[in-house]
Amino acid sequence: MSFEDYEYCWDNFVDHRGMRFQSRNLLRDNDLLATELENILRTTMNPLQKEIFFYQFGNQPRAPKPYHRRTTYLCYQLKPHEGPIIARVCLQNKKKRHAEIRFIDNIKALRLDTSQRFEITCYVTWSPCPTCAKELVAFVRDHRHISLRLFASRLYFHWLRENKKGLKRLHASRIPVAVMSSLEFEDCWKEFVDNQGKPFQPWNKLEQYSESITRRLRKILEPQNDLENEFRNLQLQ
């Protein structure tokens, strides 16, 4: 909390009987506490187990055996525009709250200094659903000091119209969306997985699958697709 935060709390939540807020020694250790919090955020994270990473982040068209539902995991790292990474966190869908919404809640709770620029890189197992895409767009719109990049392992029901609209909404905003390649998978492995010091070992056809998904995403985001669809609709009427 800054001096302004303490003063606001005093003015709005304390029965101060007209007395003005006096900081005295309250903020003496504020910088020390801020540094300690930064160190905690930089180092505290429950790393993914290797088995979870390979199963959930795998970009194969079909999940490998044993068959289980592949859910949404979101791993993000936060850093100032010019500075070291200050937070690494992994989230997943929980109690009907998608990982993207939990991510937004986490960042909002940090109350990042609006006078500084921040960059966030997200690795997600599935591209966002339409609702989450809309929320991410609103989040970036309301937090102009934050730049957000999304790398998705797979596209979520990419053939559905609403999901395509969600991807286009992200693309039209300040949120670059790309498909994870071996470089992103390797970085995710190094930064978010309990890898026990072992190097990343790509699975069979990783790059082939990544290129195929990239072509699919590129086709969805092409502007002429909208014109072609409208033309087809006119022909059908």
- Catalytically annotated residue among 100, 119, 184, 222: 100
Rounded Cα distance between 20 and 1, Å, is 18
Query: Dihedral, CA atoms, 139, 142, 148, 153, nearest 10 degrees?
Result: 20
User: Closest by alpha carbon to 75, among 53, 64, 90?
Assistant: 90
Which helix (H) or strand (E) element contains residue 153?
A: strand 146-154
Q: Letter for the amino acid at 142?
A: D
- The DSSP secondary-structure symbol of 114 reads T
Give exposure, 53-79, as e/b (b: 16+ Cβ within 10 Å): bbbbbbbeeeeeeeeeebebbbbbbbb
User: Is 191 annotated as catalytic?
Assistant: no
Which sequence positions are flagged as catalytic? 100
